[in-house]
Amino acid sequence: MSEKESLRSLDYSIVQQCMHCGMCLPTCPTYDATLLERNSPRGRISLMRAVADGNLEITKAFGEEMYFCLGCLACETACPAGVDYAHLFEVARAEVESAHVLDNPQRSLIRSLVLKALFTRPRLLRIVGRLLWFYQASGAQWLFRALHLNKLLPNRFQGLEAQTPAACVRFSHQLIKPVERPKITKYRVGVLTGCVQDVLFSSINRDTVETLIANNCEVHTPPVQPCCGSLHAHNGDIATAGQLARRLIDLFDVEKLDAILTNAAGCGSHLKTYGRLLADDPLYAERAALWSAKLKDIHEWLAEIGVRPPASTEVESQEVVTYHEACHLCHGQKITHQPREILRAIPGLKLVELPESTWCCGSAGIYNITQPEMAAQLQKRKLEKITSTGAKTVATANPGCHLQLQNGAQQAGHCFEIVHPITLLARAYRRESGKL
Amino acid sequence: MNPKVLSLFSSQFPSILCLTRKEDIIPYSFDGTAALQNTPVAVVFPRSTQEVAGVVKFASEHLIPIVTRGSGTGLSGGSVPTPGCFVLCLSKINRILEVDDQNLCLLAEAGVITAAIAKAADDVGLFYPPDPGSMKISTIGGNVAENSGGLRGLKYGVTRDYVMGLEVVLASGEILFTGNKCVKDVAGYTLRDLFIGSEGTLGIITRVLIKLIPKPTARKTMLAIYDQVENAAETVSAIIAAKIIPCTLEFLDSVTINCVEDYAKVGLPREAAAILLIETDGNTSAVQEEASLMAKLATKHGAVSVQIAETAEQAANLATARRAAFSSLARVAPTTILEDATVPRSELVKMIRFIQQTSAKYHLKIGTFGHMGDGNLHPTFLTNERNHEEMKRVEVAMKEIFDYAVLLGGTITGEHGVGLAKKDFLNQALGELNISVMRKMKTAFDPLGILNPGKIFDLNP
Ligand SMILES: Cc1cc2nc3c(=O)[nH]c(=O)nc-3n(C[C@H](O)[C@H](O)[C@H](O)COP(=O)(O)OP(=O)(O)OC[C@H]3O[C@@H](n4cnc5c(N)ncnc54)[C@H](O)[C@@H]3O)c2cc1C
Ligand code: SF4
Ligand code: SF4
């Protein structure tokens, strides 16, 4: 959406494009769970349309419905009419926020902490990440749990404490130089380090840079990057999303780079919409459009330039891997075969298909915080499917999914490894060069 | 409605979910039909036949209209709420109760999704042939109530051909079972046939006993491209004259081909006038033989190219254009009106030409695709319901197309039903006597007129 849109001012053809055929219903996880139209894409769009038509106010129930939606965009993939649900959904949530129908002190506090304080300040986020790491590494977490201190937390956070992710020892800028060059440079690319990825999975960023170098890309990685704003855009805070977009664009030499790359599906899906987001800003509109054109998911890029298959080495033992598709990769960006191509290029790796691989795992941004029950149901369903494949390694390309699966597996006592496809590729390159 | 009635309902049926809040019921104010909308008073979700019967009794005591709804994918406004009604939604009565591989049949509750029935049959090596385009979400109850068709009509028939029995809640609240597992049965009137295609106006179907058949072991797919519609039609006639009944004979016209190319880019020649997707199934050797004969016939009758798939993957590729047809059309304009005028096979070319002329005459964009084997065409109007001037032209053009279909010995609807959308055309298509017999039937089954009133025809002319 652009920064000024509302359901009423939106080009009506966007709402009207839904012909209420219902083809999206069977792919929608929330409809699947309740079999109620209101919890379906078609139902939600009809409510948005009622608002646009002036037949419905923005009510609390409307607001709750917009937040019960996972934003997984499975409906977009299923829709024969090409309805731009992502756009509608962002506008609707933004309107819910400006109507303040869901406000309560607790929610406002969380929102301002998460969206305004934490995820706009990369340095602060790193400090929190550091504390988190210290909390875990020092044994404080163990003590906290042993003393049942989590009982002191408000109800909905009790489960979350168990989910506190393991923070990394080192952040991306400590692992990646601002510019790294391959022996022969064919392409020049920028790499986005993300916020969650940077704090929790900085090694994936390192792996990304290494695979790019192995594919003759000169890599530019600005050391301190703000959050891309996807969390804000998906949660109705468009103004902050706009500010973050401008800050991020300013860090890159958009004109000179061949591509700007992200390894986080949720970010990529949003980063590609900067053109639309900043369309009304005379200073940024043009660069933002160029940015959107050059923004690629890492798998998309590697497949486009023809990923170099790692040479086979003798030490490889067969590794059975299954692939969970992040919603914002398969539905949001329609990237489905590229990650599989990359996985299949890895010697010694056997890819087994995951049943329902495109069904949301329940992470959905901060959904597992706002709708813990639905999120837990989806997590369980996903883990059952994973177990049915017999694979011990699950590849997935989004930090949210990564955490959701890791937590779920831990709680249920499964011992699968959750990894990013690019990490598996980077390992294979390392094996090839004898570094592993 | 008197709010007391609603609270009375809730106190009588505490276990039945009853939605009345605006945000809950607006999503039930339409089905898959363009430009028809009305909010109900309440939407209720019974979970058993007994609960359905309870709701119907309550409705007849309080004279509340009942609009039955499956998944709301109907294309004639059948489940669009009538003023002051309760929507009775069967989506939560959705168990498959029995798969009987001795008698080749399956018993399902009305809310089971069509695709789930096809899968349950497939799991035991059997086949449920009706495959409406909406089968991933339509309910079997809705399919029976509309007597839905699909792509395989020519060879395998339509939903009616697979209904052996029905459990129906009558307007009185009594529960009727009609039919059984016997292949032959002539004891009395075949009541079940009356409910098939009755669009929720005669009774509420709660269970369906479905006939299954053995699964064909092989399948062969081919695609033929034509620069003249006539040649495609002649190929179809020649195939049938050669005593081959293909399971699929799908047609796309030039507007549809170009929309498919705009969206899905499957590499069809843009100047093509028609393509035919042909599929034959059966045992391996027959299928092989039929396929090569059909390819010869297509070439003989002027196909500019004929491709036969050698693998399942190639078959899927050849079918891409047909699969993408509806999506490609639906993207072009905000409002998509999918019609289903149907004519005897021998009149298809005349009908297609007439649609093309009408489209030019009224400056409308109409893409036509359809089932060439059974004469069922889908002229699809690509328009905008907010453009009132254009919608007027759409109405006029539509009427002319229906009139012409009837003139050719065809019908105004081959599979989507009459509902609200085709009501105004029914009289002319069927004549007064047909309608008056139908009215008598309706009054016999539903004397109070509470079941989906105002659909198909009005009780008082
Ligand atoms: C994309 C798309 C493709 C389609 N393709 C086809 C196709 O190929 N062939 C075809 O024939 N149709 C097709 N349809 C139309 C539609 O899907 C069918 O008519 C389908 O059978 C409707 O099922 P439903 O469960 O959605 O019923 P609904 O739309 O909910 O109801 C349809 C009618 O049946 C009545 N009804 C529903 N359930 C019951 C019941 N249990 N007892 C009594 N009455 C009941 C309703 O009152 C209404 O009058 C298509 C629709 C769409 C949107
Ligand atoms: S985004 Fe996902 S949860 Fe939301 S309506 Fe679409 S399919 Fe359903
Ligand atoms: S599939 Fe698309 S057009 Fe159909 S109901 Fe869903 S969003 Fe609307």
Residue nearest to atom 11 of ligand 1 (CA): B148
Which ligand has the shortest distance to the CA of A23? 3
Q: From CA A234, how far away is CA B275, in angstroms rounded?
A: 43
The atom of ligand 3 lying closest to the CA of A25 is 6
Asked if residues B204 and B56 have their Cβ atoms less than 8 Å apart, the reply is yes
Note down pLDDT in tens along chain A; length 436 residues: 566 678 887 778 888 889 999 999 999 999 999 999 999 999 999 999 999 999 999 999 999 999 999 999 999 999 999 999 999 998 999 899 888 888 887 777 777 777 766 666 666 666 666 666 555 555 445 554 555 554 544 454 445 455 555 666 677 777 888 999 999 999 999 999 987 777 778 899 999 999 999 999 999 999 888 888 888 888 878 888 999 999 999 999 999 999 999 999 989 999 999 999 999 999 999 999 999 999 999 999 999 999 999 988 766 678 899 999 999 999 999 999 999 999 999 999 999 999 999 999 998 767 877 788 999 999 999 999 999 999 999 999 998 899 899 989 988 888 889 999 999 999 999 988 776 5
| Out of B22, B73, B386, closest to residue A22 by CB | B73
Cβ distance of A56 and B26 shorter than 8 Å: yes
Q: Are B206 and B110 in contact (CB under 8 A)?
A: yes
Name the nearest CA neighbour of B455 among B413, B415, B422.
Answer: B422
Instruction: Give a three-class secondary structure readout of B103-119.
Output: CCEEEEECCCEHHHHHH
Q: Is the CB of A29 under 6 A from ligand 2?
A: yes
Which H or E run contains B193?
helix B191-195
Residues B418 and B395: their CA atoms lie apart, in Å, by 16
| All structural domains of chain B with their residue ranges | 3-89, 96-214, 218-326, 333-407
Residue, of A124 and B133, whose pLDDT is higher:
B133
Rg of chain A over CA atoms, in angstroms? 21
Q: Which helix (H) or strand (E) holds A73?
A: none
Average pLDDT, chain B: 94
The CATH class of the B3-89 domain is alpha beta
Report pLDDT for A156: 47
Q: Please tell me what DSSP assigns to residue B457.
A: S
Cβ atoms within 10 Å, residue B457: 20
CB contact under 8 A, A38 and B34: no
B2, pLDDT greater than 70 = yes
Percent of chain B topping pLDDT 70 = 100
Q: Do domains B218-326 and B333-407 have the same CATH topology?
A: yes
* Interface contact B334-A13, CB threshold 8 A: yes
Residues 6+ apart with CB under 8 A from B398: B337, B339, B381
Distance A78 CA to ligand 2 centre (A): 11
Three-state SS sequence of A390-429:
CCCEEECCCHHHHHHHHHHHHHHCCCCEEECHHHHHHHHH
User: Residue B415 pLDDT > 80, yes or no?
Assistant: yes
CB contact at 8 A, A213 and A244: no
Question: Which residues on neighbouring strands pair with residue B126, listed in sequence order?
Answer: B214
The secondary structure element, H or E, covering residue A5 is: none
Q: What is the fold, at CATH topology level, of the domain defined by B96-214?
A: 3.30.465
Distance from CA of A297 to the nearest CA of B (A): 22
The predicted model gives B334-355 an average pLDDT of 92
CATH 1.20.140.10 for the B333-407 domain, yes or no: no
Which tokens hold the place of A119? 């995820």
Residue A435: predicted pLDDT: 64
Ligand found nearest the CA of A327: 2
| Residue of A16, A20, A56 lying closest to B30 (CB–CB) | A20
Contact call for A81 and B327, based on CB within 8 A: yes
With the most atoms of ligand 3 within 8 angstroms of its CB, the residue from A16, A17, A19 to mutate is: A19
> Phi, psi at residue B167, to the nearest 5°?
-100, 130
Closest ligand by atom to A364 CA: 2
Question: Is there a contact between B51 and B18 (Cβ–Cβ < 8 Å)?
Answer: no
Identify whether the C-beta of residue A255 lies closer than 8 Å to the C-beta of residue A387. Answer: no
Query: DSSP labels for B247-264?
Result: SEEEEEEHHHHHHHHHHT
B284 or A435, which is more confident: B284
| Residues belonging to chain A | 436
Dump the DSSP string for B118-187: HHHHHHTTEE-----TTTTT-BHHHHHHHT---TTHHHH--GGGGEEEEEEE-TTS-EEEEE-S-S---S
The pLDDT of residue A129 is 61
The alpha carbon of B143 and the centre of ligand 1 are apart by a number of angstroms equal to 5
Q: Are A82 and B32 within 8 A, CB to CB?
A: no
Alpha carbons A71 and A91: distance in angstroms, whole number: 12
Rounded to whole angstroms, the Cα distance separating A125 from B262 reads: 46
B173 with B57: CB under 8 angstroms?
yes
Distance from the alpha carbon of residue A66 to the mean position of ligand 3, in angstroms: 17
Coil, strand or helix at B369 = strand
* CB-based contact B77:B420 (threshold 8 Å): yes
Cβ distance of B26 and A35 shorter than 8 Å:
no
Cα(A326)–Cα(A360) distance, integer angstroms: 7
With 0-12 / 13-18 / 19 or more C-beta atoms within 10 angstroms meaning exposed / middle / buried, residue B170 is: middle
Cα distance between residue B323 and residue A276, in whole Å: 31
Taking chain B, what is the end-to-end CA distance rounded to the nearest angstrom?
A: 27
Q: Which residues contact B370 (CB under 8 A, 6 or more apart)?
A: B250, B251, B376, B377, B378
H or E element that contains A52: helix A41-52
Q: Are B362 and B372 in contact (CB under 8 A)?
A: no
Complex prediction ipTM:
0.93
Q: Which residue would you say has higher pLDDT here, A108 or B117? A: B117
Q: Are A278 and A284 in contact (CB under 8 A)?
A: yes
Q: Is CATH 3.40.50.620 the right assignment for the domain spanning B218-326?
A: no
User: Is residue A28 lining ligand 2, measured as CB closer than 6 Å?
Assistant: yes
Using DSSP, state whether A89 is helix, strand or coil. Answer: helix
Which of B380-405 are b and which e, b meaning 16 or more Cβ less than 10 Å from the residue's Cβ?
bbbbebeeeebbebbeebbebbbbbb
- For A326-336, b/e burial (b = at least 16 CB within 10 A) is bbbbbbbbebb
Q: CA torsion sign, A190 to A195 to A196 to A201?
A: positive
User: How large is the C-alpha radius of gyration of chain B?
Assistant: 23
Give distance in angstroms: CA of A36 to centre of ligand 2: 13
Give the rounded percent of residues in chain B with a pLDDT score beyond 90. Answer: 84
Cβ atoms of A417 and A394 within 8 Å: the answer is yes
| Domains identified in chain A and CATH numbers | 12-99 (1.10.1060.10), 105-308 (no CATH), 319-428 (3.40.50.10700)
Do residues B76 and B417 touch, judged by C-beta distance below 8 A?
A: yes
The per-residue b/e assignment along A129-148, b for 16 or more CB within 10 angstroms, e otherwise, is beebbebeeeeebeeeeeee
pLDDT for res A12: 80
Of A3-17, A213-227, B269-283, B336-350, least confident by mean pLDDT is A3-17
Q: What's the pLDDT score for residue B124? A: 96
Closest CA to A136 of A165, A158, A108, A105: A165
Report d(CA B268, CA B257) in Å as an integer. Answer: 7
Q: A192: part of which helix (H) or strand (E)?
A: none
In whole angstroms, what is the distance from residue A274 CA to residue A288 CA?
6
Q: Are strands A319-323 and A349-352 parallel, antiparallel or unpaired?
A: parallel
Q: Residue B167: is it exposed, middle or buried by C-beta count within 10 angstroms (0-12/13-18/19+)?
A: buried
Q: Residues enclosing ligand 3, CB less than 6 A?
A: A 18-24, 41-42, 45, 75, 78-79, 81, 83
**Residues 6+ positions from A29 with CB-CB distance below 8 Å:** A70, A72, A74, A359, A360, A362, A374, A378
A244-281 b/e (C-beta count within 10 Å ≥ 16 → b): bbbbbbebbebeebbbbbbbbbbbbbbbbbbbbbbbeb
Closest to B69 in 3D by CA, of B57, B81, B54: B81
Question: What phi and psi, each to the nearest 5 degrees, are found at residue A283?
Answer: -75, -30
Q: Where in B182-273 does DSSP place strands (E)?
A: 204-211, 213-214, 218-226, 248-253
Rounded Cα distance, B30 and B73, in Å = 9
Question: What is the distance between the alpha carbons of residues A104 and A127, in angstroms, rounded to a whole number?
Answer: 28
Å from CA of B87 to ligand 2 middle: 24
User: Whose CA is closest to B412, among B457, B367, B360, B442?
Assistant: B457
| Rounded Cα gap, residues B219 and B239, in angstroms | 17
Nearest CA to CA, how far is A373 from chain B (Å)? Answer: 21
